[in-house]
Amino acid sequence: MNEDVDAVLSNRLGPRQGRVFLSRGFRTAFDKAVEVAKLEDFRFHDLRHTAASYLVMRATLPEAQALLGHSDIKMTMRYAHLSPEHLRKAVARLNGLAPAPTTAPASAQDLAASAQKQHKAGTINRVSRVTT
């Protein structure tokens, strides 16, 4: 639990042992809220996917795995759904890693001709593919 949740729950009456919610009343309240909000195809379990997604976007995978109680990282990844905005920010973090080009990019034809010339001369740089 985070500090906010702990603060709210610490103000509850009665001892704090075992389960936080002692009855299924919260589930009934959840189902009623879904009905009132007219949400379709939304289950209580969907909240676990939401929590996993937020965890993976803000914590490390091992931290999310431990907090979700998963024994296999594959299960954590199955629950986690990265938002498009999060993915855009991940790509944006790559900005500045390579120097900006000082000249206009070559056309595709120029690149192909250059590669062919280097290949014939035996000077082309080859990139090896790494497989896991």
In a domain, 29, yes or no: yes
DSSP per residue, 10-34? HTSSS---S-S--STHHHHHHHHHH
Does residue 14 form part of some domain? Answer: yes
Distance (Å, whole) CA 22 – CA 18: 9
Residue 59 forms part of a structural domain: yes
Q: Is position 123 within any domain? A: no
The tokens of 59 are what? 């914590």
| Cα–Cα distance measured from residue 27 to residue 44, given in angstroms and rounded to the nearest whole number | 8
Nearest to 43 by CA among 19, 27, 57: 27
Residue 39 maps to a domain: yes
For residue 79, give the amino acid letter: Y
The pair of three-digit structure tokens given for residue 19, joined into one six-digit string: 């389960």
User: Do residues 34 and 42 lie in contact, with contact meaning Cβ atoms separated by under 8 Å?
Assistant: yes
The rounded distance, in Å, linking the Cα atoms of 112 and 118 is 10
Tens digit of each residue's pLDDT (9 = 90 or more) over 18-48 = 666 666 677 888 888 899 999 999 988 888 8
Q: Residue 14 — left, alpha, or beta (φ > 0 → left; ψ -120 to 50 → alpha)?
A: left
Q: Say how many domains are in the chain.
A: 1
pLDDT of residue 65: 92
Domain span at residue 17? 3-95
Determine, yes or no, domain membership for 73: yes
Per-residue pLDDT tens listing for the chain (132 residues): 678 877 777 776 566 566 666 666 778 888 888 999 999 999 888 888 898 999 988 888 899 999 999 999 999 989 888 889 988 888 888 887 766 666 655 666 766 777 777 667 665 544 444 444
